Amino acid sequence: MTPKKDILKKIYLFSGLNERDLETLARLAIPRRFVRDAVIFWEGREARGFFILLEGQVKLMKSSPDGKEYILRIVNPGETFGEAAVLAEAGYPATAMALEDCHTFYLPKADFLHLLTASPTLARNMLATMSWLLFHLTRQLEDLSLKEVSSRLAQYLLDLCLQRHGRIEAGLSFELPITKTHLAAYLGTISETLSRTLGRLKSLGAITEEKGNITIQDCTLLQNIAKGSRI
Amino acid sequence: MTPKKDILKKIYLFSGLNERDLETLARLAIPRRFVRDAVIFWEGREARGFFILLEGQVKLMKSSPDGKEYILRIVNPGETFGEAAVLAEAGYPATAMALEDCHTFYLPKADFLHLLTASPTLARNMLATMSWLLFHLTRQLEDLSLKEVSSRLAQYLLDLCLQRHGRIEAGLSFELPITKTHLAAYLGTISETLSRTLGRLKSLGAITEEKGNITIQDCTLLQNIAKGSRI
DNA sequence: CGGCCTGTTGATGCGACTCAATTCAGGTGG
DNA sequence: CCACCTGAATTGAGTCGCATCAACAGGCCG
């Protein structure tokens, strides 16, 4: 079995840390597993620590009294979540739920804060992580307030293509990493609307879909839709 | 004239800093003035520094090709803006515009980063600031995706009342700190809709308005609307 | 096989945006 | 002091995007 230290050193938040700090972290990190659909933490609850996702997939979400939900972020292996909450004195800003069986490390708040004051590198990484999160949230706000569903979907598909292939080009294809219902909640809509919008992109010739596999056909069109051209 | 140092020590981001660091900051801070409607920085432009607002009011906003705008945050004196951008390598995530004639200090990125690595207190303050921003943005996302305009408006009014009087109670009144057009852009809608929604709150007896002065009449009703009850 | 979850499609209704007209308040200059 | 202008705020009519409700098809698994 891989030692904890070797796992931790691959996490972005801990990159560049010296061996001593990594060993300290390895001592502090507590393995925790969650089954599919388990709630990892609830929005508003006091944040006593944060998580490092090693295996599986987690959604960070807000939900309304009448059952609607909005997905703030999908967490993938190697990423951390709940970090920001241990800095603020408020509780977790959202609810975390396991989308698959998950394997995590848990880092208690007090230990982490202690290490944070001792290690400038860690503090710097933390700042970088948080500014990335801020950037991400800012863009989501822009999308929700200024763009319609078709634009948000087109942008999502382009981002995904870029992430998978490093470029955007007609003919490239990829799978959706989450179910369409979840994707709808992530785009701030519902599955019915997503289904119709995806259908419209297909009938316009922007994309094709086969067995959950999306292929980009007309990237110029897709980019125009993402920018907000009426379709 | 008040020495720069004494001004800086009242800024939250710099609280608890030792005299030496404050003096360094005071040497680095460059006074900059902006007239009403001046753009302080554009979204996407490289962030070479950030600002401390001393006097005036600034809006941070995103705008779409067809002229709509969304206000991410209204900056008030004593607050900083653009800080997150100097940490990330991406440019400014939004455009900053002066709503009134403004007086600011400008802190160049390189100098600030240098001080940041030298001062754990400053790093800690920066982390706290950023987690507050994250919290704030998260709530805005929740509101935009899950709530309708009436809820967002009711919530805004309640927040404002709490901020002004320290409590929420029927009979308390306050002024809107920004124009209704700006408020509309902040709530993710347009002035016509805001006007109608405000009218609805009045006719329901939740609030009254006289010469731009809002008075809370029925806080239970207002709180229910804020939580999402249909009205 | 039957249940369950995911996804698709159709009909309908509501919230909010658009466009246009009007009023109002503040500031300017003759 | 009043006429004038400009930007803010309000109000009405019409439209559109998207959510809602409902029905149904396909895949997976006990």
What pTM was estimated for this model as a whole? 0.93
pLDDT in tens, B96-129: 999 999 999 999 999 999 999 889 999 999 999 9
Long-range pairs for B2-11 at CB < 8 Å and ≥24 separation? B4/B29, B4/B105, B7/B54, B7/B105, B8/B52, B8/B105, B10/B78, B11/B52, B11/B78, B11/B80
For residue A4, the model assigns a pLDDT of 84
Alpha-carbon gap, residue B89 to B168, rounded angstroms: 42
Average pLDDT over residues A122-151: 95
DSSP B92: -
Alpha helices in chain B (DSSP H): 4-8, 19-28, 83-87, 109-118, 120-146, 149-165, 180-186, 191-203, 219-227
Helix A109-118 to helix B120-146 angle (10° resolution) is 130
Regarding the domain delimited by A4-145, which CATH topology (the fold level of the hierarchy) does it fall under?
A: Jelly Rolls (2.60.120)
Residues 147-166 of A with CB under 7 A from strand D: 148-150
How is chain A split among helix, strand and coil, in percent rounded to 5?
45, 25, 30
CB–CB contact A141 B62 (8 Å): yes
Burial of A3 (0-12, 13-18, 19+ CB in 10 A): exposed
Chain D: nucleotides below 7 Å from protein CB are: 8-13, 17-22
Q: What is the CA radius of gyration of chain A?
A: 19
Identify the bridge partners of residue A230 per DSSP, sorted by sequence position. Answer: none
Residues of B with Cβ-Cβ distance to A129 under 8 angstroms: none
Q: Which residue's CA lies closest to nucleotide C8 at its C1' atom?
A: A195
pLDDT at B66 over 90: no
For residue A202, the model assigns a pLDDT of 95
With contact defined as beta carbons under 8 Å apart, do A217 and A205 qualify? Answer: yes
pLDDT in tens, A87-121: 988 899 999 999 999 999 999 999 999 999 889 99
The nucleotide whose C1' lies nearest the CA of B192 is D10
Q: What is the CATH architecture assignment of A147-226? A: Orthogonal Bundle (1.10)
With contact defined as beta carbons under 8 Å apart, do A71 and A61 qualify? Answer: yes
With contact defined as beta carbons under 8 Å apart, do A127 and B87 qualify? Answer: yes
Measured between CA atoms, how close is A169 to chain B, in angstroms? 24
Which H or E run contains A126? helix A120-146
Task: Using the CB atoms, write b or e for A76-104: b if 16+ within 10 Å.
Answer: ebebbbbbbbbbbeeebbbbbbbbeebeb
Return the structure tokens found at B70: 């969304």
Q: Give A5's pLDDT tier (boundaries 50, 70, 90).
A: confident
For residue A67, the model assigns a pLDDT of 87
Identify the bridge partners of residue B60 per DSSP, sorted by sequence position. Answer: B73, B96
Measured between CA atoms, how close is A206 to chain B, in angstroms? 22
pLDDT at A2 over 80: no
* Mean pLDDT taken over chain B: 93
CB–CB contact A120 B124 (8 Å): no
CB–CB contact A128 B65 (8 Å): no
Measured between CA atoms, how close is B36 to chain A, in angstroms? 24
Percent of chain A with pLDDT over 70: 99
Alpha-carbon gap, residue A207 to A189, rounded angstroms: 20
Q: Rounded to the nearest 10 degrees, how much is the dihedral formed by the CA atoms of B137, B138, B139, B145? A: 110
In chain B, where are the structural domains located? 4-145, 147-226
CB count in 10 Å sphere of residue B6: 10
With contact defined as beta carbons under 8 Å apart, do B56 and B77 qualify? Answer: yes
Instruction: Among B85, B131, B146, select the one facing A87 at the smallest CB separation.
Output: B131
Q: Give A1's pLDDT tier (boundaries 50, 70, 90).
A: low
pLDDT in tens, A158-213: 999 999 999 999 999 999 999 999 999 999 999 999 999 999 999 999 999 988 89
With contact defined as beta carbons under 8 Å apart, do B115 and B50 qualify? Answer: no
Return the structure tokens found at A98: 């396991």
Burial of A215 (0-12, 13-18, 19+ CB in 10 A): middle
Q: Give B195's pLDDT tier (boundaries 50, 70, 90).
A: very high
The nucleotide whose C1' lies nearest the CA of B150 is C15
pLDDT in tens, A17-61: 999 999 999 999 999 999 999 999 999 999 999 999 999 999 999
Alpha-carbon gap, residue B183 to B202, rounded angstroms: 17
